[in-house]
Amino acid sequence: MVAIDVSEGQLATARRLADIHGSRIEWLHGNAETVPYPDGSFDVAVSEYGAALWCDPYAWIPEAVRLLRPGGRLSFLTNSPMLTTCYPLDGSEAGFTLVRPYFGQHMFDWSGVEIDPGGVEFNLAISDWFSLFHQHGLEVVDFLELQAPESATGTQFVVPADWAKRYPSEMVWKLRKKP
């Protein structure tokens, strides 16, 4: 098992958790857009936000495909493009008003926002994700748009529960590299 991240802090947290659970993992400080392994090195690749949010999909998806063996699986969890259309430009909570176009999404630079400045994030319209997968020989095994349960309250990562009960704030892609 190999884990890669650009953040030393994230790697330190992952190492601590792996130690608690007795997991044997090789740790790489680097970018998932360029991974120092030969073609076809892995059967499975997973990103829970990580590369799926912080790396350019036009770079990391082809890299993930390169690293997978034929029939290998890629699964990732990231923000829904619906969320990015309703996420205010100042970094405040998602609202019920569209604030940016759905089509043409790609890179979002949050480093200069007024509320909780962040970094650069990436997302695409659903049809652009499908096109990217098709272009690189990935089949969609499953696609999930996550909905908050009725019992949810409060706000989690700029997403109010009332919003997430009505609209998908997260999505999960389960893909397979064609043999």
Domain that holds residue 76: 31-177
Residue 20 lies in a domain: no
Residue 18 lies in a domain: no
Residue 23 lies in a domain: no
What stretches of 46-145 show up as alpha helix (H) in DSSP?
50-54, 57-67, 81-86, 126-135
Residue 52 lies in a domain: yes
CA atoms within 13 A on the CB side of 136: 23
Query: What does the alpha-carbon distance between residue 108 and residue 121 come to, in Å, rounded to a whole number?
Result: 5
CATH number at residue 110: 3.40.50.150
Could you read off the pLDDT tens digit of each residue along the chain, which spans 179 residues? 999 999 999 999 999 999 999 999 999 999 999 999 999 999 999 999 999 999 999 999 999 999 999 999 999 999 999 999 999 989 899 999 999 999 999 999 998 888 888 889 999 999 999 999 999 999 999 999 999 999 999 999 999 999 999 999 999 999 999 99
Coil/strand/helix, residue 20: helix
Counting the structural domains of the chain, the total is 1
